[in-house]
């Protein structure tokens, strides 16, 4: 169902006069620019703000005076906003909007870094970049799982449960066998089990998919929590000490400043995640399977008429999605931590937000996941430098951004037409 | 017009055809006596026949049984001692069966004793204790369940009961320890504040849905998390945080703003359950007797037809969400004004919003059904506490049971197939409320 002019909602006819969508976005950006120029600049200290290209204060750095930086980049945001307001050609819109938003963020950072306590007024870009990718990983896997499901017309609110089940079975079977790969496969199967329930109930028994997703999340929380307390807590050495994948450095590429250590010195999950984005993107838009998946998600009756087996394709995609999300869950328990109760803690819902914010496309989901990961990492950084900005407000950012996106402020967000509607042959 | 075409069993019928079907269904459920076929079989026969038909009551009961079976299996596979007896099951099957039975029956017996009645209890207080616990857990669930059910009837899926309850608990808590008011008035103001807090949080997705068509499922999910982070931030602010504590906990609510206890100071049941019954009655009246309720059900069954008939769909959507939010907010307020907790903490709302979704589904989105469903969930929760402390079976099992019950409820066809039930006479269409983003 389209989230724009939904025909079952009495929306006033969209007045595409002067206030087009682009102009509204421009207005918001102009307001942000003004905020940056007026507020951030006044609050910023006239101290150097250093953005180091390393993990600590040392090494090469980009340096700028806090006040100057906040003002300069604020003006960039303001100018971009005004340009869009003035009626920019459509093809420039995305680029200028992007530049404006980056300007706003950098202006904000100049203010924050320059007012940090003495000795801490630097921002280690390597740390930030690496943290962004690490925090975005479960979101990437989760939102890809969402893409696979929803593109074929099955709403996946159970991402949280799939991640959690993956994390749990990865940890359990990883430690029982002592083998990483067994853990990885078990994680994929764990996620698939939740998916299987979703598929059977949504496709075979026509249960509402959102309802099913919510219930499955609770089921996953319950089962993993129950088994955690019965098995893992009493005997962590046997049940909850899975080996961890180590980081694999790719020679040469990992030498690239800032992005190298973040992108090419990660663990298997990082590479797998990025590879999956590429594979699913190509698969969805360049292969027969992708064409069929999309057609089943948009107009199953038409696809059926042309000989596509709608239900079988939906089953297959939903199960695949579970495997992807399950591996995403293992990116916690087979690389970073041991399993704890409810350890996904809402990441599945941020992944859902990333899916929607990324407009149901793999690359969009990746960008949204990285944006949310960055916001998360920034919150950590800001609380480390005792910023006046409460970290909780930054943590709200992904959710607020999604609400704005769905309300139509940031471009058009449209779900696959048949998303969530069971298909009944006949 | 997706919601119109799925002949939802739980929504009020829109067409005469469906109306007729539901009437049939209702008479059947009421009692077989009201049926007047020419050659009437004996009442007892009819009763037995209906008992094994796939009607609401039977399906609910069998779902409970199925969920408890799965729960029992989970207990067995997670108990190393019992599992060990299965390694020689071919040699001595009795061992395995006895050990399993002992484990599961003892756990479920404790569940029952903690929720309903403990035969070994001595004295009135001890005898009333399980019921009191059950009612304590039931009260907030009734409100969140009603919140979800009310929105459902209007064609909206309110996943935001959790967030609305969070805003409710914040508003009620703040009113409870910041306002210096006399007893009685203070309680009223605090309860009202909770309702307003929830209503505001319900208004946002309502107005967004009405104005921009933004899907309420997405927005309410997102607002749940915004509310939680707001709560976490608020607790540690000056004037809110308990000055004597360093951890995240607010000042306690004044005694003048706390709901009175029902059975004396030693039992936790409080007046919230009375409010819950009143709220159930009010929602039932609103849905079935008021103009707004009629409009709400009309919009829920077919927005386009309602608009043609002159009902303002946008206004109805906003009102539905405001009412749903207020109900959830009332539920939230009980978490801090009742006996569960007296101060705000990050986890003060527990899971009541998400549980409310399950309660609403289990109650077939009907007000009195919600009340009964909340009672069952409250009983499971109360019994689960005893099961955890007496049998060492983790409380998480209750979450599993609750989720499983609702899964089985949601797919009556599955339960029917497992138990080989006859189709109920007024067989309902199997389609549910599926309607997409």
Q: What is the pLDDT of residue B430?
A: 37
Instruction: Give the minimum alpha-carbon distance from B154 to chain A in angstroms, rounded to a whole number.
Output: 13
Q: What is the pLDDT of residue B413?
A: 80
Q: What is the pLDDT of residue B86?
A: 83
By Cβ distance, the residue of B74, B226, B314 closest to A10 is: B314
**Average confidence (pLDDT) over A215-235:** 92
Q: What is the pLDDT of residue B23?
A: 40
Number of Cβ atoms within 10 Å of the Cβ of A341: 17
Instruction: Give the minimum alpha-carbon distance from A404 to chain B in angstroms, rounded to a whole number.
Output: 9
Q: What is the pLDDT of residue B38?
A: 53
pLDDT band at B32 (very low <50, low <70, confident <90, very high): very low
Q: What is the pLDDT of residue B424?
A: 58
More confident residue, B5 or A399: A399
User: In this structure, what are the phi and psi dihedrals at residue A48, rounded to the nearest 5 degrees?
Assistant: -70, 135
pLDDT band at A4 (very low <50, low <70, confident <90, very high): very low
Beta strands across the sheet bearing A122-124: A61-65, A48-52, A122-124
Q: Which residues does chain B have within 8 Å of residue A379's beta carbon, measured at their own beta carbons?
A: none
Sign of CA dihedral A224, A225, A231, A234: positive
pLDDT band at A148 (very low <50, low <70, confident <90, very high): very high
pLDDT in tens, A165-184: 999 999 999 999 999 999 99
Q: Which residues does chain B have within 8 Å of residue A211's beta carbon, measured at their own beta carbons?
A: 157, 357, 361, 410, 432-433
Alpha carbon B90 to its chain's center: 44
Comparing alpha-carbon positions, the chain B residue that sits nearest to A422 is: B434
Is the pLDDT reported for residue A319 higher than 50? yes
Is the pLDDT reported for residue B31 higher than 50? no
Q: What is the pLDDT of chain A when averaged over all its residues?
A: 86
Is the pLDDT reported for residue B422 higher than 80? no
Question: Poorest-confidence range of A300-304, A359-363, A411-415, B18-22?
Answer: B18-22
The encoded tokens of residue A101 equal 């938003």
**Among B171, B153, B155, residue whose Cα is nearest residue B163:** B171
pLDDT in tens, A329-372: 999 999 988 999 889 888 998 899 889 888 899 999 999 999 88
**Average confidence (pLDDT) over A288-305:** 93
**Average confidence (pLDDT) over A409-419:** 72
**Average confidence (pLDDT) over B148-157:** 92
Contact (CB<8Å) B226/A209: no
The structure's pTM equals 0.86
Residue whose tokens read 């409009």: B295
**To which H or E segment does residue A170 belong?**
helix A159-177
Is the pLDDT reported for residue B26 higher than 50? no
Highest mean pLDDT among A293-297, A384-388, B13-17, B114-118: A293-297
What is the distance between the alpha carbons of residues A145 and A141, in angstroms, rounded to a whole number?
6
Q: What is the pLDDT of residue A413?
A: 65
SS3 at position B261: strand
**Among A297, A422, A402, A327, residue whose Cα is nearest residue A358:** A402
More confident residue, A363 or B49: A363
What is the distance between the alpha carbons of residues B148 and B169, in angstroms, rounded to a whole number?
17
Contact (CB<8Å) B400/A231: no
Q: Are A326 and A220 in contact (CB under 8 A)?
A: no
Taking one residue from A and the other from B, the number of pairs with CB-CB distance under 8 angstroms is 203
Share of chain A above pLDDT 70, in %: 94
**Average confidence (pLDDT) over B97-109:** 90
What is the distance between the alpha carbons of residues B46 and B44, in angstroms, rounded to a whole number?
5
Q: Does the CB of A356 have a partner CB in chain B at under 8 Å?
A: yes
Is the pLDDT reported for residue A410 higher than 50? yes
**Among A372, A144, A355, residue whose Cα is nearest residue B437:** A355
Comparing alpha-carbon positions, the chain A residue that sits nearest to B226 is: A396
Q: What is the pLDDT of residue A93?
A: 83
Number of Cβ atoms within 10 Å of the Cβ of A278: 12
Alpha helices in A36-89 (DSSP H): 41-43, 66-85
Instruction: Give the minimum alpha-carbon distance from B429 to chain A in angstroms, rounded to a whole number.
Output: 10
Rg over CA atoms, chain B: 23
More confident residue, A307 or A87: A307
Contact (CB<8Å) B225/A1: no
Write out residues 258-317 of A within 8 Å (CB-CB) of B. Answer: none
Q: What is the pLDDT of residue B54?
A: 63
Highest mean pLDDT among A13-27, A49-63, B366-380: B366-380
Number of Cβ atoms within 10 Å of the Cβ of A299: 15
pLDDT in tens, B275-302: 999 999 999 999 999 999 999 999 988 8
User: In this structure, what are the phi and psi dihedrals at residue A2, rounded to the nearest 5 degrees?
Assistant: -65, 145
Residue whose tokens read 């292969």: A287
Longest dimension (CA), chain A: 72
By Cβ distance, the residue of B79, B230, B410 closest to A211 is: B410
Comparing alpha-carbon positions, the chain A residue that sits nearest to B410 is: A207
Query: B184: number of CA atoms within 13 Å, CB side?
Result: 1
DSSP B423: P
Show the 3-state SS of B80-107.
Answer: HHHHHHHHHCCCCHHHHHHHHHHHHHHH
Best A204, A224, A376, A396 member to test B by mutation, with max B CBs in 10 Å, is: A396
Q: What is the pLDDT of residue B4?
A: 39
Q: What is the pLDDT of chain B when averaged over all its residues?
A: 84
The encoded tokens of residue B60 equal 């609910």
More confident residue, B252 or A60: B252
Q: What is the pLDDT of residue A351?
A: 93
Q: Which residues does chain B have within 8 Å of residue A228's beta carbon, measured at their own beta carbons?
A: 396
**To which H or E segment does residue A49 belong?**
strand A48-52
Is the pLDDT reported for residue B425 higher than 60? no
Q: Are B321 and B202 in contact (CB under 8 A)?
A: yes
Contact (CB<8Å) A403/B433: no
Question: Poorest-confidence range of A249-258, B135-144, B228-237?
Answer: A249-258
Task: Kindly provide the residue ranges of all beta strands, DSSP E only, lying in B281-434, ordered along the sequence.
Answer: none
By Cβ distance, the residue of A209, A353, A408 closest to B434 is: A209
**Average confidence (pLDDT) over B389-398:** 89
Number of Cβ atoms within 10 Å of the Cβ of A406: 28
Q: Which residues does chain B have within 8 Å of residue A419's beta carbon, measured at their own beta carbons?
A: 436-437
Q: Which residues does chain A have within 8 Å of residue B74's beta carbon, measured at their own beta carbons?
A: 223, 226-227
């Amino acid at each position: 169902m389209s989230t724009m002019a939904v025909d079952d909602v009495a929306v006033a006819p969209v007045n595409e006069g002067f206030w087009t969508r682009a102009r509204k976005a421009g207005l918001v950006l102009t307001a942000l620019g003004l905020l940056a120029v007026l507020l951030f600049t006044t609050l910023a200290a006239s101290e150097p703000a250093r953005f180091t290209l390393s993990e600590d204060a040392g090494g090469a750095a980009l340096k700028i005076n806090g006040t100057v930086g906040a003002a300069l980049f604020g003006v960039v945001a303001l100018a971009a906003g005004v340009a869009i307001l003035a009626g920019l050609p459509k093809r420039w819109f995305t680029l200028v909007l992007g530049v404006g938003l980056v300007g706003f963020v950098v202006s904000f950072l100049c203010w924050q870094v320059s007012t940090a306590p003495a000795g801490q007024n630097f921002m280690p870009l390597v740390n930030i970049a690496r943290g962004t990718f690490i925090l975005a990983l479960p979101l990437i896997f989760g939102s890809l799982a969402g893409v696979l499901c929803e593109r074929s017309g099955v709403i996946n609110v159970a991402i949280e449960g799939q991640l959690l089940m993956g994390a749990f079975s990865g940890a359990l079977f990883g430690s029982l066998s002592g083998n990483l790969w067994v853990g990885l496969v078990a994680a994929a199967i764990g996620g698939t089990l939740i998916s299987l329930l979703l598929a059977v109930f949504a496709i075979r028994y026509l249960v509402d998919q959102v309802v099913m997703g919510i219930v499955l999340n609770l089921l996953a929380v319950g089962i993993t929590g129950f088994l955690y307390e019965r098995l893992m807590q009493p005997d962590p050495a046997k049940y909850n000490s899975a080996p961890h994948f180590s980081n694999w450095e790719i020679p040469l590429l990992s030498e690239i400043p800032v992005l190298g250590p973040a992108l090419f010195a990660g663990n298997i999950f990082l590479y797998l995640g990025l590879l999956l984005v590429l594979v699913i993107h190509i698969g969805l838009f360049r292969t027969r399977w992708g064409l069929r998946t999309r057609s089943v998600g948009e107009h199953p009756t038409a696809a059926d008429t042309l000989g596509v087996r709608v239900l079988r394709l939906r089953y297959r995609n939903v199960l695949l999605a579970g495997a992807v999300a399950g591996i995403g869950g293992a990116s916690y328990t087979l690389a970073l931590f041991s399993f704890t109760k409810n350890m996904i803690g809402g990441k599945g819902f941020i992944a859902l937000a990333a899916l929607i914010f990324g407009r149901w496309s793999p690359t969009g989901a990746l960008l949204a996941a990285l944006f949310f990961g960055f916001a998360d990492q920034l919150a950590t950084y800001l609380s480390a430098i005792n910023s006046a900005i409460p970290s909780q407000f930054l943590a709200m950012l992904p959710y607020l951004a999604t609400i704005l996106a769905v309300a139509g402020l940031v471009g058009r967000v449209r779900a696959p037409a048949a998303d969530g509607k069971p298909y009944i042959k006949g | 017009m997706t919601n119109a075409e799925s002949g939802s069993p739980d929504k009020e019928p829109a067409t005469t055809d469906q109306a007729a079907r539901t009437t049939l269904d209702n008479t059947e459920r009421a009692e077989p006596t009201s049926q007047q076929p020419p050659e009437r079989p004996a009442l007892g026969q009819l009763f037995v026949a209906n008992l094994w038909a796939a009607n609401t009551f039977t399906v609910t009961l069998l779902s409970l049984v199925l969920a408890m079976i799965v729960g029992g299996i989970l207990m067995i596979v997670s108990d190393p001692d019992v599992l060990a007896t299965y390694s020689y099951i071919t040699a001595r099957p009795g061992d395995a069966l006895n050990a399993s039975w002992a484990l599961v029956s003892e756990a479920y017996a404790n569940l029952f004793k903690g929720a309903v009645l403990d035969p070994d209890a001595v004295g009135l207080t001890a005898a009333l204790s399980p019921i009191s616990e059950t009612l304590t857990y039931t009260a907030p669930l009734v409100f969140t369940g009603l919140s979800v059910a009310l929105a459902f009837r209007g064609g909206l899926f309110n996943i935001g009961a959790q967030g609305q309850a969070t805003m409710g608990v914040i508003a009620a808590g703040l009113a409870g320890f910041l306002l210096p008011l006399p007893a009685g008035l203070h309680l009223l103001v605090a309860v009202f504040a909770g309702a307003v807090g929830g209503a505001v949080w319900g208004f946002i997705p309502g107005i967004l849905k009405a104005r921009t068509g933004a899907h309420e499922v997405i927005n309410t999910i997102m607002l749940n998390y915004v509310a939680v982070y707001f709560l976490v931030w608020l607790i540690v602010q000056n004037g809110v945080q308990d000055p004597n504590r360093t951890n995240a906990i607010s000042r306690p609510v004044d005694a003048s703003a706390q709901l009175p206890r029902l059975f004396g100071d030693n039992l936790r049941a409080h007046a919230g359950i009375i409010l819950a019954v009143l709220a159930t009655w009010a929602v039932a009246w609103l849905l079935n007797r008021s103009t707004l309720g009629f409009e709400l059900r009309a919009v829920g069954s077919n927005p386009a037809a309602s608009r043609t008939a002159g009902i303002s769909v946008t206004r109805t959507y906003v009102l539905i969400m405001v009412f749903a939010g207020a109900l959830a907010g009332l539920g939230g307020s009980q978490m801090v004004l009742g006996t569960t907790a007296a101060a705000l903490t990050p986890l003060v709302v527990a899971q009541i919003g998400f549980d409310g979704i399950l309660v609403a589904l289990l109650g077939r989105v009907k007000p009195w059904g919600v009340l009964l469903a909340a009672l069952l969930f409250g009983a499971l929760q109360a019994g689960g506490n005893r099961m955890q402390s007496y049998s060492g079976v983790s409380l998480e099992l209750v979450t599993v049971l609750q989720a499983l019950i609702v899964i089985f409820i949601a797919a009556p066809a599955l339960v029917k197939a497992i138990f080989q039930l006859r189709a109920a006479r007024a067989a309902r269409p199997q389609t549910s409320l599926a309607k997409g983003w």
